[in-house]
Structure 1
């Protein structure tokens, strides 16, 4: 008999953000755009981008969360979402602002830091090589 619900767990690096047993559907955002999951869909894995994750439960109705980048894995009736950060208890407009203000700006800062570190490392290697040849 086909299943009518999924078990959803949303994990952050240091805690379980949410766990729902009777999830009817899930909508998430990947690099290719938004996609939906229903209980009997084939197993899959997807890289998530900062965006809105929506799920519907039997008891609580529709829930919307702002999630940072991460991964979603569906195996059978189990759906595991592992993300760097998640925020809930806001309306959609506020969640979209959080994504733009918090998650996307954090990624820009991280890219800038990585670029600076790469320049420092290459400078160190050049100087070390110059010392070695003297």
Structure 2
């Protein structure tokens, strides 16, 4: 008999953000667009950009702002592992939070990424010159 509901667990790096049973549907955003999950859907994996995750239980719809991460569906279990998540606000406020907090990189993160890019390109140049010798 196919499952009639799903178990959703939203994981952050150091804690469980939410754990919900009896989820009837989930809508997630990917870089290619939104897609829905129903309990009978085949198992899947999806990369998640910063956006809004929506799920529905008997109590109603719940909206969660999530930072980038991954969604994995196996049977009736759906695991969403993200860097940060916010809930408890209206949809408009969550959308604004995604734009302000998740889509804009702070100065420290930008400088770290720039340094890492320089290190990687320097390593590749040295490695390519080493192979040509």
Match of 1:48 in 2: 48
Query: Could you tell me the TM-score, scaled by structure 2's length?
Result: 0.84
Aligned to 1:68: 67
- Give every structure 1 segment of 4 or more consecutive aligned residues whose post-TM-superposition deviation is greater than 4 Å: none
How many residues get paired?
123
Give the Cα–Cα distance (whole angstroms) in 2 for the partners of residues 75 and 12 of structure 1. 19
Q: Which runs of 5+ in 1 are unaligned?
A: 127-134
Pair 1:7–1:112, CA change in 2 (3 A): same
Provide the aligned C-alpha RMSD in A: 2.1
Matched with 1:110 is: 109
| Consecutive unaligned residues in structure 2, runs of 5 or more | 127-133
Q: Deviations over 1:22-73 (max 9, x none)?
A: 0000000111111000000000000001000000012x21000100000000
TM-score normalized by structure 1? 0.83
